[in-house]
Structure 1
Amino acid sequence: MDSPRRTRRLLHSVLSVLTLALVTTALAGGGGPAPASAATMSETAAAAAVTTFSDEFDGSAGSAVNGSKWQIETGDNVNNHERQYYTAGNSNAALDGQGHLVITARKENPNNYQCWYGTCQYTSARLNTSGKFTQTYGHVEARMKIPRGQGMWPAFWMLGDDIGQVGWPNSGEIDIMENVGFEPSTVHGTLHGPGYSGSAGIGAGYTLANGQAFADDFHTFAIDWAPNSVTWSVDGNVYQHRTPADTGGNTWAFNKPFFLILNLAVGGYWPGDPDGNTTFPQQLVVDHVRVTTSDTQQPETGGRITGLAGKCVDVAAASSANGTPVQLYDCNGTNAQKWSVNADGTIRALGKCLDVASGGTADGTVVQLWDCNGSAAQRWAVSGARDIVNPQADKCLDVVGNSSANGARLQIWTCTGAANQKWTVNS
């Protein structure tokens, strides 16, 4: 749970993995000028994903977690200056009898636990799958409702299984979700490795709209992980994609087995300590943790991407020919409006990729459909603010002329926050 602002060390990793489903979006299908060839899936679809790890937390109220899947860590953590003592058994981690794991942080010390700062003030729990489950690549997700309050620090993350041999950060760490209590509407996803650890970790945040708090409801936090690629999503909305190009020439530490970690910390360098407004107990409620296979593309079933006036991103005339315009059009449920946002940063429909014409970076460069070729012109990032950004150009997907008319062409343009640059993926 090393995150962008604190020193991290790995005691034991605790993480919840969720079934990572590729974010899909739909674009409206319409009648543009491109040749009308039949839409076929030219890309080879991956075999159906196989579930390799799943915990739905079914069991009687008060039961401890399944010991064949999780081990429970105990003790304190001086490295992050956290305040809690992690307890064994079901004292702070127990099933609720309704299909949830509840990790509870309490302001208490029933057994005179001693921490790095003296007598411990809080108890909580941390679980990991080390020695019980590891995986290389796939979809990892957890559906959870996080706690609230200053000093709370829930996390769902992963550590390289070779940590005992190479140490941290050489082992690599993938933070799927971290939240610090003073940011109730924002979660963070981060990579830590040699040369980019602790406060220098590589990451980004995802913020809910309209001041909503993550503690108000359950949300699904996931990564899609493939060779040289990690993509983060919240509730199916992709907000970050990382590759070795992001490590500044340092070693990419993520092409090997990792194990999962789930924990609820109290206090520490990053979140700060609880204050007079923090109430206890606080709970991290986990509905499920799932991991599936697949280091290749998932089948492109796709979903809608909607924008201005509620219209869809659409491939003109449903043509899969290279150079076919991508436009805005009334949503109609056709394959020309079914888009998948993929772990490699591509956005695909009809077996081809959303592409910036000629790899351009200038305002007004139109976008089109083109054979997927791995170029930067076909890389996109979906932000929590609902922007779809081409990182090479550092520009947003935009509707030409701010027009909501059927057939309005899409382009890239300097990000302004205007309505013609706002998109809802998987709508």
Structure 2
Amino acid sequence: MTTQPPPRASRPALAPRRAVGSRRALASRPALLALVVLLAAGLFGTAPASASGPASAASAPARAAASDVVAQAPGPLVWADEFNGPAGTLPDPARWNQEVNGSGGGNNELQYYTGSTDNAALDGSGNLVITARQGNPRGYQCWYGTCQYTSARMTTAQSFTQAYGRFEARIKLPRGRGMWPAFWMLGNNLGQVGWPASGEIDIMENVGHEPGRVHGSLHGPGYSGGSAVTGSYTLPNGQAFADGFHTFAVDWTPTSITWLVDGVAYQTRTPADTRGNPWVFDHPFFLILNLAVGGNWPGPPDGGTAFPQSMVVDYVRVHAPGSSGGATGAVTGLNGVCLDVAAAQNANGTPIQVYGCNGTAAQVWTVAADGTLRALGKCMDVANNSTADGAPIHLWDCNGYLSQQWRFTAGRDLVNVAADKCLDIPSANTAPGTRLQIWTCTGAAHQKWSPPAG
């Protein structure tokens, strides 16, 4: 890719988007966890007997690294588009402005962005469909001559900006070499200071020749283009992001930005990561959705790329800043039951169960700043450091292991960081005393939990 800075935009709607190109990829959390398991079993001979009890240096399970995100409940929903309009209609113009140009976005992209429903329309089933098409029946002109492709790019520059909070979208990505879908943000001072001084937060970018990988990046003065601060997440087992919907998000605070895929945090960046350059993520940004075709980073489509290709967006939601620690109260689940420590005992190994809410100390949980959930002076823990479906949950001394790290997602899943699995009520049985477990996240009601309110 070219690392030359793009021309300054005359207005936010025409801001160029920069390819990242040479990237320092970060391993996805599943890959890191698999490595931990292999090291424990292969190099040391035996797996740890219990993550919750004392462990030797050889058998100790993974501890939380500095980049591991803490459990954080998003704040109130402040802006959203659920795309619930009639089929064939444009996205809500009160929320979205559709850019119209063939400038190439500063990256030598090949598409012409139109304002037509041919390229951006609701499907009548609660989705926005951004479609890239080959051909140019209307004779649109691009930077390189007659355009070969059309697509759409939408922004909230004229309708909504916000600093800090949870920014999230659920999207099914297109497939094929040369496709370049993105969900990202630019600073609202772009027209005054230009890019990259305004800042850019790439929540999700994908290039078609990497079907199972997405990238999250920061661009600012001194760390833009090929020098962006960046990381990536790869789906396990050869899956592709075009195979189904996935949720992409950032949690943005004054001092950090954390990227998530399907509720799993894969990188956190702070002012220490900008290599001595200014941290410019201290003012409102606006949202952008687009599907580019070609460009310096993905390259052009080839004979194996079928058209049309679509980026299908289920929703976009923005929450106010949440709490990254300190919220205390009841955690409630299916049918209003409460997360409860059996018999209000704080001995190591005491089961954690569901029980009717009664306001006792056994049901008072604190979302701690280190990512743990605490009650009666101890931590909610996955027994034996297990990552298997059905592993039971109990109370144990807080020890910093990943088996005690939890995260509330915007979808109300409560995810264990070590296992990347959800807190689950077995068989959806809410009878008092039903012991809880972890299980692969399915989106079922018996895996949904509301965090402490205060």
Shorter-chain TM-score bucket reads 0.5 to 0.7
| Paired residues of 1:13 and 1:261 also in contact (CA < 8 A) | no
What amino acid sits opposite 2:203 in the alignment? I
Counterpart of 1:57 in 2: which secondary structure?
A: coil
| Structure-2 separation of matches of 1:48 and 1:265 | 30
What amino acid sits opposite 2:201 in the alignment? I
| Paired residues of 1:153 and 1:271 also in contact (CA < 8 A) | yes
Partner of 2:191: 164
Q: 2:371 aligns with which of 332, 341, 347?
A: 347
| Structure-2 separation of matches of 1:205 and 1:252 | 21
List per-residue Cα deviations over 1:201-239 (Å, max 9, x = no partner): 111111111011100000110111111111111111111
Q: 2:96 aligns with which of 56, 62, 70?
A: 70
2:184 is the counterpart of 1:137: no
What amino acid sits opposite 2:124 in the alignment? G
Q: 1:232 aligns with which of 259, 264, 278?
A: 259
List per-residue Cα deviations over 1:297-336 (Å, max 9, x = no partner): 3747789xxxxxxxxxx9xx986xxxx9xx9998757989
| Structure-2 separation of matches of 1:352 and 1:254 | 38
Q: 2:79 aligns with which of 53, 77, 99?
A: 53
| Structure-1 separation of matches of 2:375 and 2:184 | 33
List per-residue Cα deviations over 1:185-210 (Å, max 9, x = no partner): 11111111111101111111111110
* 1:126/1:7 CA distance change after superposition, 3 Å: farther
Partner of 1:377: none
Counterpart of 1:215 in 2: which secondary structure?
A: coil
2:122 is the counterpart of 1:95: yes
2:292 is the counterpart of 1:265: yes
Q: 2:313 aligns with which of 276, 286, 290?
A: 286
Q: 1:110 aligns with which of 137, 147, 151?
A: 137
| Structure-2 separation of matches of 1:242 and 1:328 | 35
| Structure-1 separation of matches of 2:376 and 2:202 | 31
What amino acid sits opposite 1:98 in the alignment? S
Counterpart of 2:372 in 1: which secondary structure?
A: strand
| Paired residues of 1:191 and 1:202 also in contact (CA < 8 A) | yes
Partner of 1:423: 419
Q: 1:173 aligns with which of 180, 184, 200?
A: 200
| Structure-2 separation of matches of 1:208 and 1:94 | 28
Displacement of 1:423:
2.8
| Structure-2 separation of matches of 1:331 and 1:237 | 23
| Structure-2 separation of matches of 1:329 and 1:204 | 39
List per-residue Cα deviations over 1:56-80 (Å, max 9, x = no partner): 1111111011111010001122510
Displacement of 1:89:
3.4
Counterpart of 1:270 in 2: which secondary structure?
A: coil
| Structure-1 separation of matches of 2:349 and 2:295 | 48
Counterpart of 1:188 in 2: which secondary structure?
A: strand
List per-residue Cα deviations over 1:12-34 (Å, max 9, x = no partner): 489xxxxxxxxxxxxxx99869x
Return 5+ residue gaps in structure 1 as ranges.
15-28, 34-44, 304-313, 354-367, 370-397, 414-420
| Paired residues of 1:74 and 1:85 also in contact (CA < 8 A) | yes
| Paired residues of 2:74 and 2:165 also in contact (CA < 8 A) | no
Greater fraction strand: 1
| Structure-2 separation of matches of 1:78 and 1:352 | 55
* 1:105/1:8 CA distance change after superposition, 3 Å: farther
What amino acid sits opposite 1:350 in the alignment? R
What amino acid sits opposite 1:71 in the alignment? N
Within 5 Å, which residues of 2 pair with 1:175-324? 175-294=202-321, 296-297=323-324, 299=327
| Structure-1 separation of matches of 2:315 and 2:224 | 28
Within 5 Å, which residues of 2 pair with 1:79-94? 79-94=106-121
| Structure-2 separation of matches of 1:195 and 1:130 | 24
* 1:328/1:175 CA distance change after superposition, 3 Å: farther
| Paired residues of 1:152 and 1:266 also in contact (CA < 8 A) | yes
What amino acid sits opposite 2:373 in the alignment? A
Partner of 2:61: none
What amino acid sits opposite 2:182 in the alignment? A
Segment of structure 1 superposing worse, 148-157 or 289-298:
289-298
| Paired residues of 2:51 and 2:401 also in contact (CA < 8 A) | no
Structure possessing the higher relative contact order (Cα contacts under 8 Å, 6 or more residues apart): 1
Displacement of 1:296:
3.6
| Structure-2 separation of matches of 1:101 and 1:175 | 20
The Cα RMSD (Å) is: 4.0
What amino acid sits opposite 1:179 in the alignment? N
Displacement of 1:348:
2.3
* 1:144/1:48 CA distance change after superposition, 3 Å: closer
* 1:162/1:295 CA distance change after superposition, 3 Å: farther
* 1:224/1:8 CA distance change after superposition, 3 Å: farther
* 1:412/1:290 CA distance change after superposition, 3 Å: closer
| Structure-2 separation of matches of 1:112 and 1:84 | 12
Counterpart of 1:216 in 2: which secondary structure?
A: coil
* 1:48/1:173 CA distance change after superposition, 3 Å: closer
